[in-house]
């Protein structure tokens, strides 16, 4: 079963073709086999029996006639039987033909031997180059008294041309039906492919405004369900963003009022701590809002990863020397620049915060771009690598801004990567720290 699964086409179109083509080919092969085994064999036997009977009759007529009557008899045979028969007076014994036909017409050979009970020879003769291309003519020579009887049966007496016409009709009609079936099938599969493409675009954060339900009723129903689901998801994301944006706006007002009031009072350690708390709350609100926004209405663009990541690294100033970039070839992706920038910035920020040296490398396999961010820091324990992608999760349990953020950085990063149709996972780095692996479609 596993072997058969490997031979099965992977695509829906290929499997539909196999479902159509295999039964047609199998049925035609069985029909042709049965035709050759029964009809063709029966026709050949009847045609051989008829021809052999005429040849035997001519042979026995010449034996009973006198030599001067041979030509009259053969003229009668040629006129009424349509059999080209000639007598040549010669003393030479019967010789084998250069091009023997006994293997070509074995049934005719066996029937002649049974009916004539006399020596004979069968061979192919060629008059010119064109006759050589056509396969030549069959010549049967039989010794009679004082000479040799030569008989040249018509090719129509040796093979039934309707057989080849039947096979050509079968093959032609089969090809015609296959072409028609493939065209109809391709039209039906195209609707499924368009639905798949629209779903894939939406999964990467792109819209497909020109997508419309097409195809069979079931495919149309699936397309309508997809459109309805897409609209519900859009409304859900919009409401979530609006709600948290409203909460953020409402909270900013009292925070701003508190900051103004603190500016008017005498400055001391208590007021300074309160100002730090207010600043931290503002940063947390910004992080919450970024997390809620997820995928913005930013349009996708072509991104040159080498240039794009180089610009991000240049923004780190003096720390730039501790970050190495290695890009193999010219790697471009389609994505939302601001979202991708936030993603890479979050990851590089984390690496710089906990390590001394960071290496960023980019490779492409023709279908996906792989981005690796490695550091020589302390890394993350394997049992906590899934947890760090959860919202508000921090390995360091305190809420001190000096030892970590709000716990939303990697959550936002994962949402951005997933929104672009990619994947992200963590592993051990050869540098001794953490290795972040990102795969994005080209």
Q: What is the DSSP string of 219-266?
A: HHHHHHHHHHHHHHHHHHHHHHHHHHHHHHHHHHHHHHHHHHHHHHSP
> How confident is the model at residue 372, as a pLDDT?
92
Lowest mean pLDDT among 129-143, 322-336, 414-428: 129-143
Tokens 């309160």 correspond to 274
Find the DSSP H helices in 300-388. Answer: 305-314, 337-354
Give every CB contact of residue 280 below 8 A, 6+ residues apart in sequence.
401
Specify whether domain 212-293 bears CATH 1.20.1440.230.
Answer: no
Lowest mean pLDDT among 147-161, 283-297, 357-371: 283-297
Segment (H or E) for 200: helix 161-203
Q: Which of 358, 369, 379, 391 is nearest to 427 (CA)?
A: 379
> How confident is the model at residue 398, as a pLDDT?
47
Q: Which two tokens stand for residue 344?
A: 């890479």
> How confident is the model at residue 437, as a pLDDT?
93
Distance CA 274, CA 276 (A): 5
Band (85; pLDDT cuts 50, 70, 90): confident
Give the chain's mean pLDDT: 78
**pLDDT, tens digit, 9 for 90 and up, residues 159-169:** 666 666 777 77
Strand partners, 270: none
Residue 199 CB-half CA count within 13 A:
14
> How confident is the model at residue 230, as a pLDDT?
83
Q: Which two tokens stand for residue 109?
A: 């050979």
Distance CA 285, CA 244 (A): 9
CB 185 within 8 A of CB 12: no
Lowest mean pLDDT among 201-210, 257-266, 413-422: 201-210
**pLDDT, tens digit, 9 for 90 and up, residues 243-290:** 777 777 777 778 788 888 877 777 787 777 788 778 777 777 776 666
Task: For CA atoms 40, 46, 50, 51, give the dihedral sign.
Answer: positive
Q: In this structure, how many other beta carbons lie within 10 angstroms of the beta carbon of residue 208? A: 17
Find the DSSP H helices in 65-150. Answer: 70-80, 106-116, 129-134
CB 245 within 8 A of CB 297: no
> How confident is the model at residue 204, as a pLDDT?
64
Question: What is the mean pLDDT of the segment spanning 354-379?
Answer: 88
Lowest mean pLDDT among 37-46, 264-273, 289-298: 289-298
Q: Quick one: CATH architecture of 299-441? A: 2-Layer Sandwich (3.30)
Query: Edge-to-edge, what's the strand order for the sheet holding 323-327?
Result: 323-327, 358-364, 368-375, 434-441, 423-428
Distance CA 143, CA 92 (A): 10
Distance CA 16, CA 184 (A): 11
CATH code of the domain occupying 9-162: 3.30.450.300
CB 158 within 8 A of CB 182: no
Task: For CA atoms 267, 268, 272, 278, give the dihedral sign.
Answer: negative
> How confident is the model at residue 133, as a pLDDT?
53
Domain ranges of the chain: 9-162, 212-293, 299-441
Distance CA 247, CA 245 (A): 5
> How confident is the model at residue 36, as a pLDDT?
66
Question: What is the mean pLDDT of the segment spanning 354-373?
Answer: 88
Distance CA 366, CA 54 (A): 75
> How confident is the model at residue 290, as a pLDDT?
63
> How confident is the model at residue 438, as a pLDDT?
92
**pLDDT, tens digit, 9 for 90 and up, residues 395-404:** 665 444 555 5
CB 122 within 8 A of CB 16: no
Q: Which of 81, 138, 150 is nearest to 109 (CA)?
A: 138
Q: Select the highest-mean-pLDDT range: 8-17, 64-73, 247-256, 307-316.
A: 307-316
Question: What is the mean pLDDT of the segment spanning 301-328?
Answer: 82
CA-based diameter of the chain, in Å? 153
Residue 291 scores a pLDDT above 80: no
Distance CA 109, CA 7 (A): 47
**pLDDT, tens digit, 9 for 90 and up, residues 316-335:** 776 656 888 888 778 888 88
């Amino acid at each position: 079963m596993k072997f058969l699964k490997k031979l099965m086409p992977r695509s829906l179109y290929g499997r539909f073709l196999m479902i159509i083509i295999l039964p047609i080919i199998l049925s035609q092969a069985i029909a042709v086999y049965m035709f050759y085994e029964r009809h063709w064999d029966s026709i050949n036997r009847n045609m051989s029996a008829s021809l052999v009977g005429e040849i035997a009759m001519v042979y026995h007529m010449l034996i009973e006639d006198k030599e001067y009557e041979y030509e009259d008899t053969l003229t009668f045979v040629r006129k009424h039987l349509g059999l080209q028969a000639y007598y040549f007076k010669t003393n030479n014994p019967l010789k084998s033909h250069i091009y023997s036909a006994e293997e070509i017409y074995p049934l005719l050979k066996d029937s002649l031997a049974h009916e004539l009970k006399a020596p004979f020879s069968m061979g192919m003769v060629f008059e010119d180059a064109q006759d050589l291309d056509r396969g030549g003519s069959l010549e049967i020579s039989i010794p009679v008294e004082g000479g040799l009887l030569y008989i040249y049966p018509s090719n129509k007496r040796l093979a039934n041309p309707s057989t080849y016409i039947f096979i050509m009709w079968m093959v032609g009609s089969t090809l015609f039906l296959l072409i028609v079936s493939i065209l109809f099938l391709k039209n039906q599969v195209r609707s499924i492919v368009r639905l798949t493409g629209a779903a894939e675009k939406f999964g990467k954060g792109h819209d497909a405004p020109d997508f419309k339900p097409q195809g069979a009723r079931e495919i149309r129903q699936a397309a309508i369900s997809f459109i309805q689901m897409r609209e519900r998801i859009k409304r859900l994301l919009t409401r979530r963003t609006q709600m948290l944006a409203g909460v953020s706006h409402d909270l900013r007002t009292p925070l701003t009022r508190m900051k103004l009031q603190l500016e008017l009072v005498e400055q001391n350690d208590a007021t300074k701590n309160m100002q730090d708390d207010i600043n931290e709350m503002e940063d947390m609100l910004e992080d919450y809002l970024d997390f809620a926004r997820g995928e913005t209405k930013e349009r996708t663009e072509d991104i040159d990863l080498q240039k794009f990541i180089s610009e991000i690294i240049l923004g780190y100033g003096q720390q730039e020397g501790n970050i190495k970039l290695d890009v193999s070839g010219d790697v471009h992706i389609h994505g939302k620049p601001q979202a991708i920038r936030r993603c890479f910035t979050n990851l590089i920020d984390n690496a710089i915060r906990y390590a001394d040296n960071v290496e960023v490398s980019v490779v492409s396999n023709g279908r996906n771009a792989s981005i690796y961010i490695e550091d020589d820091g302390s890394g993350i324990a394997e049992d906590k690598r899934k947890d760090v992608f959860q919202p508000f999760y921090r390995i360091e349990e305190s809420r001190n801004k000096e030892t970590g953020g709000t716990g939303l950085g990697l959550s936002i990063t994962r949402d951005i990567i997933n929104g672009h149709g990619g994947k992200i996972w963590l592993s051990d780095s050869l540098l001794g720290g953490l290795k972040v692996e990102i795969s994005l479609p080209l």
